[in-house]
Amino acid sequence: MFFDPLYFIFVGPAMLAAMYANSRVKSAFARWHQVGNGRRLTGEQVALALIKSSGLRAVTLTSAPPDNDHYDPRDRSLALSPAVGNAASVAAMAVAAHEIGHALQDSEAFAPLRMRTALVPVSNYGSQIGTYMLFGGMLLAGFGGGSLGLPVAWLGLGLFALGSVVSLVTLPVEFDASRRALAVLASSGLIANEEERAGVQAVLNAAALTYVAAAGAAIATVAYYGFRLMRLYGRRD
């Protein structure tokens, strides 16, 4: 079970895609982090300027640990890491504007964002419980207790699959935030030239790949365990 080749057949391609996506986003950020933006504004200054120009008065700016830039709709806080908040680079501008995109979604009650916000705590709890139920049920079924083990395992897989649902809902949220980021940077005049626009677009596109890869990996994992359960069900019959 722990060395099943089928796991790599199902999940292996998604894992490779995730590795590629992570390398792309690191490469894009590193490249455009070396290029200063024409306005010479740090990520924090970009965020503050966009908060003001977009009328997001309720949004507060805070600091975040490295690689943990995010917007939290629960308290309307926008957190930037030092590499973004303190840098006057094209990459920092892109990341800051992307988080502003989430703040704009929140201000407009963007349905996918609200759905994701509601699903995340349920998914976190459900996935933890579901994992125990899935493996416990499979173990019980493997020892001949399929009449009880398989229903428990299927229910566990359903709870575990909530993570995949969140990953799918995340896609329109992130794509829309990137679209809003480009639009708000252009309308505010913070993008100085076409080179900067291309750099912002490159960083945002690379980041989008990571969400696609994560969704693919989540779906592939659920598909694998679903296949395993169907095989166990076939053996019981």
CA atoms within 13 A on the CB side of 43: 32
Inter-CA distances, 183 with 5, 119, 125, 177, Å: 46, 28, 36, 10
A 10 A CB-CB count for 193 gives: 10
Residue 104 sits at the vertex; the CA angle it makes with 103 and 109, to the nearest 5 degrees, is: 95
| CA separation for the pair 12, 164 (Å, rounded) | 17
A 10 A CB-CB count for 152 gives: 19
| Tokens 């943990």, located at residue | 68
Distant-in-sequence, close-in-space partners of 85: CB < 8 Å, separation ≥ 6? 42, 43, 44, 47, 63, 92, 96
Residue 137 sits at the vertex; the CA angle it makes with 163 and 125, to the nearest 5 degrees, is: 30
Which residues participate in catalysis according to the annotation? 99
